[in-house]
Structures are given as structure tokens and as C-alpha cells.
């Protein structure tokens, strides 16, 4: 009888413990579901916003300035022909040394002279032998040759080409330098470019104008949208300084033996436009 009573008590205690554990688990499940719901509601507040979880607006700005160029860059070349490489080299070297001396005498510093091209190329003629003819005096048969594009290739000599790139800092002296260099032996001249010696300073100035322009646009946009600008979260820029270019495409030299060149060209330098573009991203509320 006593054993029966103990069994009944044990079963009752076990059932009570199960009820308690079940209640605790139910409460924990309710808390977990509530937390998930709260997070979902909170995340809905940021639908449509950026990855940072903050609303933002983007604006862009442009800055432009104009500057008179203070540096001109031009290429001068000497093309020499000769039966041998040594003959063509001798002519080319003599003329190029004369050109370097002339530019220095006109105020160009040695640091502003740079050899940017040097080539030696064989020169060929294409000929075809004609029918033998008789010499009127000796009545001996001889072969005559004349130009024939698809005929036999015959080495006729060599071409030596050397190019000197000259930086000219005196804008008033450009025409005179071109005239004297051509007279000294340059038979090709071109790629005249006008630029700025300190491009970065001009870009910095243009960039500041672009940033001011972007900030002004942001303020106007914020008023129109009825929002408040908090801080800049992103910045990007791109700037360039275009070079106004004049191709003094080909200046034919006069006969070097006469020591004369053509008239000095009238060179117009114009203005260079430096442009900067920036983009700003603002956090708003």
C-alpha cells in the first residue's frame, strides 16, 4: 500500500515539472518571435535607403578657368639621305648640332632639348632592265634601267631621321625660333602644343570652384526636398587641362647652303581652358 502511494506521488511530481518546463519554453518562444518582429519593423524604416542605412543625395559640380599658356612644345626633324649610312649620318649630325646651337643661342635651356626619335632606314629603287640598245659611238650593246614598281629591288642608299623636341618658354620668341631652326637645317617641323608649366596649380583652382559649385547645388536641393544636409559621405573628382594644339604640320627648309630660312611665322597662343568635375554624396535627414 505504501509503494502504491509513492508511485502516485512520483507521477504527480513529474507532471508538474513537465508543466513548468513547457511554460518556460513557451515564454522563450514568445520572446524570440517578438524580437524577430521588432527587427523586421525596424528594418522597414530603411527600405529604399543606401547600404549605409542612411538616406542620401548626390550632386555634381563643374569648375572652369582660363589661363594663357606659358610653355610651347614643338618637334623639329632632320631627314638626311646618303649612299652609305656614314654619309647620311654625317649630314644629319652636322645639321642637328647646328639646330641645337641655334636654339640655345635664342634662350632655350639645355634641359628643354630632348632627342625623341632616331631612325636609320635603307632606301630601295625598283627598276626593270630595258631591251639592249647600241651605243651610237661604239656600237656596243648596253642595258638601260628605269623605275618599275614591281621590278627588281635595288639598294640605292640610306635615310637617317632624327627628331629634337624643343620646349619654348618665351612665348614672344616662338616664331623666331621656328624660322632659325628651319634655316639651320630642319626639313620637318610639327606638333606645336601650348600648355602650362604648372598644370597642377591650375587644376587645384578649378577643383575648388567645382566643389563650391557642388555645395551650392546641394544646399538648393536640400531646401527643395525639405531635408537637412548632415555630412559628406563620398567624394570623387576628375580634372584635365586640354592643350590647344596648332599643327605647324610641315615647314620645308630652304637650301642649307644659302643659310636662309622662310619668314618667321606669326604664332597665336590663345588661351587654355582647365576644367574640373567633382561629385559629392551627402547624408540627409
Helical spans, DSSP H, in 106-198: 174-184
147 pLDDT band, cuts 50/70/90, is low
24 pLDDT band, cuts 50/70/90, is low
Neighbours of 213 (CB within 10 A): 19
pTM: 0.62
Pairwise CA distance, residues 15 & 4, whole Å: 17
Positive/negative CA dihedral, 45, 51, 52, 54:
negative
Model confidence at 224: pLDDT above 70: yes
Is 118 in contact with 189 (CB distance < 8 Å)? no
Average pLDDT over residues 95-117: 96
3-class secondary structure per residue, 219-284 = HHHHHHHCCCEEEEEEEEEEEECCCEEECCCCCCCCCHHHCCCCCCCCCCCCCEEEEEEEEEEEEE
Model confidence at 29: pLDDT above 90: no
Pairwise CA distance, residues 275 & 264, whole Å: 33
**pLDDT reported for residue 139:** 45
Find the length of the chain.
285
Dump pLDDT digits (tens) for 249-261.
433 333 433 344 4
- Provide the phi-psi class of 92: left if phi over 0, else alpha when psi is between -120 and 50, else beta: alpha
Amino acid at each position: 500500500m505504501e509503494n502504491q502511494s509513492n508511485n502516485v506521488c512520483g507521477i504527480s511530481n513529474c507532471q508538474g515539472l513537465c508543466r513548468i518546463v513547457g511554460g518556460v519554453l513557451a515564454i522563450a518562444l514568445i520572446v524570440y518571435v517578438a524580437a524577430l518582429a521588432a527587427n523586421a519593423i525596424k528594418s522597414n524604416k530603411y527600405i529604399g535607403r543606401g547600404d549605409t542605412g542612411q538616406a542620401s543625395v548626390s550632386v555634381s559640380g563643374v569648375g572652369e578657368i582660363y589661363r594663357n599658356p606659358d610653355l610651347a612644345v614643338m618637334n623639329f626633324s632632320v631627314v638626311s639621305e646618303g649612299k652609305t649610312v656614314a654619309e647620311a649620318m654625317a649630314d644629319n649630325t652636322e645639321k642637328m648640332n647646328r639646330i641645337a646651337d641655334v636654339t640655345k643661342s635664342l634662350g632655350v635651356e639645355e634641359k628643354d632639348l630632348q632627342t625623341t626619335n632616331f631612325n636609320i632606314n635603307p632606301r630601295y629603287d625598283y627598276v626593270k632592265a630595258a631591251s639592249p640598245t647600241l651605243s651610237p659611238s661604239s656600237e656596243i650593246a648596253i642595258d638601260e634601267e628605269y623605275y618599275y614598281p614591281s621590278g627588281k629591288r635595288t639598294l640605292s642608299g640610306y635615310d637617317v631621321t632624327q627628331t629634337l623636341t624643343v620646349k619654348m618658354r618665351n612665348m614672344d620668341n616662338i616664331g623666331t625660333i621656328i624660322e632659325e631652326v628651319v634655316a639651320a637645317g630642319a626639313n620637318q617641323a610639327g606638333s606645336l602644343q601650348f600648355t602650362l608649366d604648372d598644370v597642377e596649380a591650375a587644376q587645384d583652382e578649378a577643383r575648388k570652384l567645382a566643389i563650391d559649385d557642388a555645395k551650392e547645388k546641394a544646399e538648393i536641393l536640400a531646401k527643395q526636398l525639405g531635408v537637412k544636409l548632415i555630412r559628406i559621405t563620398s567624394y570623387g573628382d576628375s580634372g584635365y587641362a586640354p592643350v590647344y594644339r596648332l599643327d605647324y604640320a610641315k615647314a620645308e627648309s630652304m637650301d642649307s647652303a644659302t643659310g636662309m630660312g622662310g619668314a618667321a611665322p606669326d604664332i597665336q597662343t590663345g588661351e587654355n581652358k582647365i576644367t574640373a568635375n567633382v561629385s559629392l554624396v551627402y547624408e540627409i535627414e
